[in-house]
Structure 1
Amino acid sequence: MKTNFITKTGWNLLILLAIVFVIAQLIWGFSWLLWCIFILFVYLFRVSKINYIADPNTIVAPIEGKIKCIKTSSYRELGECIEVQIINNIFSQGNIIAPLDMDIEETRVRHGLFLCPFMKNTNLMSERMLFLARSKGKQWALRIIFGALNRKAHIDDFGHHLNHGQSIGFMFDGSVSLLLPKDTRICINENDKVRIGALIGYLNP
C-alpha cells in the first residue's frame, strides 16, 4: 500500500487555507491556530493507494473503518446475497477504492440528506450511490452512503471499468456496503476494524 498523501478532492481547500495562512502571517505574524487548522485538514484529506493485488479473487476493504454488520440480504437484481457494511468516520481515511476488478453495469444515484450513518433509517433518507458490477462472471453491488459531514458526493470519473484497488471517490464519513454472492468466503467479523485494502474475503470462481 502506498500513501498518496492528499486526495484531489482536498487540494482546492488546502491551497485556499495555505494562502490565508501566508497572508495572516505577513499581516499579524505566525498563528498557531491557523497552523493547527491547516494540519487538521491535511490529516483529514490523507489517502492511501493499493499498488498491487496478487490474487484477482481477493476482496479487499473498499474503505477504512469498522465492520458494522455481516448479514444475509435479498436484493432485486442479485437475489440472496451477503451484505458486508463498513462504517467510516472523520478520523479514518476517506478514500474509497474498488474491492475487486469491476465491470460496472449500472450506476444509480439517490439524492437525499447527509445524515449520521448511525441514525435509524439512514439507508432510506441519505444521499447514496449504488454500483451494480460484474467480476469474474459474478454479479454483485457496491453501495455508498454519504454521512453528515459531507456536502456533496465526491466520486471520480472512471467510466465503466475499475481495476482492483482503483480509486472510486472520497467521503468524510458514511458507510460502504458490499452486496456479494452468497457463496463468497468472508474472512472478517462484525466489529472488526479494517484498513483500506485489508482482506475481506474471496470471490469463489
Structure 2
Amino acid sequence: MNTGTTGTLYIVSAASGAGKTSLLRALMERDPKLVISVSHTTRSPRPGEQAGRDYHFVDESEFRRLIEVDAFLEHARVFDRRYGTTYAAVEADLAAGRDVLVEIDWQGARQIRERLAQTVSIFILPPSRDALEQRLRGRGQDSDEVIASRMAAAVDEMSHCGEYDYLVWNDDFDTALADLEAIIRVRRLRLAHQIGVSADALAALTGGAVGVR
C-alpha cells in the first residue's frame, strides 16, 4: 500500500499525559503534508474538544453498527469507552500521497500492523513516572482514584513500547518535536519515495529511469 507516491501511515502511541497530542499538533503546524485521522469514540467530549476535529463522538449503538459493517481499520475499548479508526479516515489521504498520523493505543497499533504491513510506528515516552503523574495531576480534572487508575494503565501501555519502530522521549518538548520531524524526513528520503515524487527529475539527471534494488 505504501509504494510510489502513496503516503505513509504513521501509528503514534503514548501513555495518557505523555504529551502526544500537543506534539502532533505542533508537528502538523510545521508540516502541511501531514494529516491526522479523526477517530470515533463513545466517550464524551472533554473541555475544549470539538466534534469532527478532535474525535467523531458517537453513541454505543452507532459504534457497534460501524463494527458490524467492517468500517474500522482498528478499534478497541479503553477506560470503558470505545475508540476506532475507520478505513475512510485514512485510505483517501494515503492514496493522494499524503502522510497520515493515527493516534491509537498499543491494541489498535497491533490491529493496524496486521492489516497494513507498510506502516511506521512511533511510541512517545515521558521522562519518568513522576513526571507523568505530575502532568496528569496538572490537568486538574481527575480525582486521586482516577489518577491512580490512569497511572496503572499508563505503565501497562508503556510496557508495549518494544513493539514500535521508534521511541521518542518527551523530556524537552522542542527536542521531541525535532525527533518526530527527523523520523518523517528520513522516510521521505527513501529511494522508493523519491522515485515516486521525482521520477522526471531523476530521469533527466540520469538519462533514464532509476530502478529500485
For the aligned pair, the TM-score class normalised by the smaller chain equals under 0.3
Compare the two structures and name the one with the higher strand fraction.
1
Relative contact order (C-alpha < 8 Å, sep 6+): which is higher? 2
TM-score, with structure 2 as normaliser: 0.23
